[in-house]
Amino acid sequence: MIYNLILAEDLHKLHDAKDIYIYGASDVAKSMGYCLRGDPFDKNIKAFLVSDISKEESKSIFDIPVISYTDASEDMLVIIATLEKYRDDIIANLKSVELNNYLCATFESTLGEEIRKEKFFSLIRCSEWDIRTLSEIKNQFEKDKEVKI
């Protein structure tokens, strides 16, 4: 119960934020950026933050700059979008520059999964596919079975 409350609070915090940073520049961060731009989140991603800018091949992702976390100028919401094993080091980096407003949406996290799921369902709603859950299919089958009898 407490776990679901924390997830709901994190999602509420995310929905309330207009401008965000994403910490990371790997495929995990890129997929998070894709999920958060546009429907259903519509976030303005100010920059992708990294620990060591000298190691980055690309200076932008989706035409959004990749910058060092030390160059982040505003204390806006930071979405940590990396593998879980880097989380503690990233939190220490953020705290060292007084960026204390963050959410851990790592690849393995429930929050990361929920964000990807909301994006997926948003895409499905925009399509013409007939997507139903197994329980919806079962209920329809039961109703159809009753009508035939």
| Amino acid code (one letter) for 9 | E
- Vertex 35, ends 29 and 40: CA angle to 5°? 155
Tens-place pLDDT, residues 59-117:
999 999 999 999 998 779 999 999 999 999 999 999 999 999 999 999 999 999 999 99
Distance (Å, whole) CA 80 – CA 70: 15
pLDDT of amino acid 126: 76
Question: Could you tell me the CA-to-CA distances from 121 to 8, 31, 132 in Å, in that order?
Answer: 18, 15, 11
The candidate with the shortest Cα–Cα distance to 50, out of 31, 71, 35, 73, is 71
Distance (Å, whole) CA 51 – CA 91: 11
Contact indicator for 20, 77 with CB cutoff of 8 Å: yes
pLDDT of amino acid 86: 97
Strand-pair partners of 91: none
Residues in the chain: 149
Strand-pair partners of 68: 50
| Amino acid code (one letter) for 17 | A
Helix (H, G, I), strand (E, B) or coil at 42: coil
Residue 56: pLDDT band with limits 50, 70, 90:
confident
